[in-house]
Structure 1
Amino acid sequence: MAEVPLVRAALDAVDAKFPDIPQDVRIHELVRRLIGRMTDDILTHSRQLIADLDPVSVDDIRGADHAVVYFSPAMKAEVDVLRNFLFTNMYRHRFVRRMTGKAKRVVHDLFTLYMSEPELLPPFWAKIATGPETTETARAVADFIGGMTDRFALRDHEKLFSISASPK
């Protein structure tokens, strides 16, 4: 990530001020500085956009032909470079795509099973479900799955679909 100019500048500043900090602290400070720089930019630029618009009411803001809270053109360009880097090297990385595929399978399996057998839901959610394949059941199942942590969803999937898992 150090090849991204926005990151490189922040990293250089961190390393200059704290040359011997542990890597986890270095990363935390890097992220803090990046967020701070972007926040400062958006606030400064937005103040100028609002001042240029000179609104009298909220309707003036709503009726503006452009966003009034936005990065400066220079920061937008830097953020775009960072975003492209992240998409190319992280979000679309084969490991991330593989894990995303597995997560989709887990969610799909849980949703399909709970839709067809809502009595397997915990009591609170089972009461909301009105029977297999109904809109109310779909809402209950979606809300139940949506509230799961990753670890809970994997454990639930294992419990429901693994032949070797003990039924608890």
Structure 2
Amino acid sequence: MRPFGERWRAPYACDPAHSRGRLYPEAASPTRSEFQRDRDRIIHSSAFRRLKHKTQVFVYHEGDHFRTRLTHTIEVSQIARALARSLGFDEDLAEALALSHDLGHTPFGHTGEDILDECMRPFGGFDHNAQALRIVTRLERRYAAYDGLNLTWETLEGLVKHNGPLLDAKGEPTLRYVARGVPLAILEYNTQQDLGLATYASGEAQIAAIADDIAYDAHDIDDGLRAGLFRIEDLREVPFLAGLLEEIDARYPGLEESRRIHELTRRLITRFVEDVVAETDRRLAALEPQSADDIRGAADTLVCFSTPMREAEAAVKRFLYAHMYRHPDVMAVRRKADDILRDLFSRFKADPSAMPEEWRAGLEGADETRLARRVADYIAGMTDRYAVQEHERLFDVTPDLR
């Protein structure tokens, strides 16, 4: 295993000097690589700033120390950079993908995506990856020469495919999309710029995806404990976590609760990261890739957990699902948030004039599908508190999200 912290780029890394380019060609920057420019455009986007007030699991006013989409994104970015540096992938591309991976998420966490998908079911559904693509290619309006951020092919490819191929070799939807089909927004954009939907994404995109899982597990344990949804001793249900707690208690007997929680989460992240590096090194040695396309053309994901750690990580997720995501207090807030978003979608679809002028512009004579997609775009971009404010403006009674 290579030393952690050593910066280098392997032959199989994406090389910004040989990017496949942007949809709208631009002159190179004299001070930044192409992937650094993508990262900076994402950070300066309106959608990125809105992540500050979008829920991770808890709604925005439940406490200043709970994660939001923005703090989660920063944590994913840190883990992705560490993995990319250790494995020889391009750090800047991995960071850009980590920073952009949640841009398409709705207000009120995953419940918002579920409700928008339900509302949009007759019109092609709603998918946060497809929505992120719409944001960075259409909905961000900052530049004079084009809509969107005009990101490189490599960033767009990674944004769309970080969870694996969308199509099989025959051009049919993969298992993830077989029931509903590949989201229309992705297929439409793919006709303009072929993102290779039937191959795996780059190693940098795979890194961003697994960094997301690692960050989720660690900070949801932290937030769940601090919120009192479960006790630290309950974590002993998961053998992997029980082992970490035994290490901490043996080394620091009688440690105060807050420090004990932090020692647990930092060890969890470290073990996950070290395992991913070791397993990915093993797979890279077996494949011997000489280019980024060799990674894309592999028969399976290259950046992943070992089998024992994959099972441990799945056990952590099962614990969180039962004790946190489906906790009665969390579910009660989710049901209220569901009502807010359903009300907003129905109202805006029935009366587009209730939306701001910039969102209703050009809808004259639009068919029902186009109108519904515009409404979904507007709602998906809302922060939690703006969604509540819009509901208060339009309805006599608004659920209290507490």
User: Do they superpose with TM above 0.5?
Assistant: yes
Is 1:144–2:350 an aligned residue pair? no
Report the equivalent of 2:244. Answer: 10
Question: Following the alignment from structure 1 to structure 2, what is the Cα–Cα distance between the partners of residues 72 and 121?
Answer: 49
Determine what percentage of the aligned residue pairs are the same residue.
38
Which of the two has greater helix per residue? 1
Deviation per CA, 1:87-106: give whole Å up to 9, x if none. Answer: 12222233333322222221
Alignment of structure 1 residues 39-118 onto 2, 5 Å: 39-118=273-352
- Tell me which stretches of 4 or more aligned residues in structure 1 moved more than 6 Å: none
Distance in 1, matches of 2:383 and 2:281, equals 39
CA distance in 2, matches of 1:132, 1:72: 51
Amino acid at match of 1:146: A
Q: Which residue of structure 2 aligns with residue 30 of structure 1? A: 264
Deviations for 1:8-65, whole angstroms, at most 9, x for unmatched residues? 3334445535954562x54344323322221121111101111012223444433433
Q: Which of the pair has the greater relative contact order for Cα pairs under 8 Å at 6+ separation?
A: 2
The Cα shift of 1:78 comes to: 0.8
The answer to which of 44-53 and 97-106 deviates more is 97-106
Q: Which amino acid aligns with 1:62?
A: R
- Separation (CA, whole Å) in 2 of partners of 1:128 and 1:20: 61
Q: Find the partner of 2:360 among 118, 126, 134.
A: 126
**RMSD of the TM alignment (CA)?**
2.7
TM-score by length of 1: 0.78
* Cα distance, 1:131–1:109 mapped onto 2, change above 3 Å: farther
* Distance in structure 2 (CA, Å) of the matches to 1:157 and 1:94: 24
Deviates more, 1:103-112 or 1:62-71: 62-71
Q: If the length of structure 2 is used for normalisation, what is the TM-score?
A: 0.36
CA gap of 1:19–1:127, structure 2 versus 1, over 3 A, is: farther
Distance 1:139 1:51 in 2: 46
**Structure 1 residues 128 and 136: alpha-carbon distance in aligned structure 2, compared to 1, 3 A threshold:** farther
Contact 1:42/1:72 (8 A) holds in 2: yes
- Report the count of equivalent residues: 163
Distance 1:143 1:84 in 2: 32
Task: Go from structure 1 to structure 2 and tell me whether the alpha carbon gap of 1:42 and 1:68 turns closer, same or farther (over 3 Å shift).
Answer: same
Task: State which drifts further: 128-137 or 51-60.
Answer: 128-137
User: Which structure has the greater CA radius of gyration?
Assistant: 1
In structure 2, stretches of 5+ residues that fail to align are: 1-233
Runs (5+) with no aligned partner, structure 1? none
- Report the alpha carbon displacement of residue 133 of structure 1 after superposing the two structures with TM: 6.2
Distance 1:163 1:79, change over 3 A: closer
Asked whether the equivalents of residues 118 and 132 of structure 1 are also in contact (C-alpha less than 8 Å), the reply is no
Q: Which amino acid aligns with 1:79?
A: E
| Residues in 1 aligned to 2:335 and 2:369: alpha-carbon distance in whole angstroms | 26
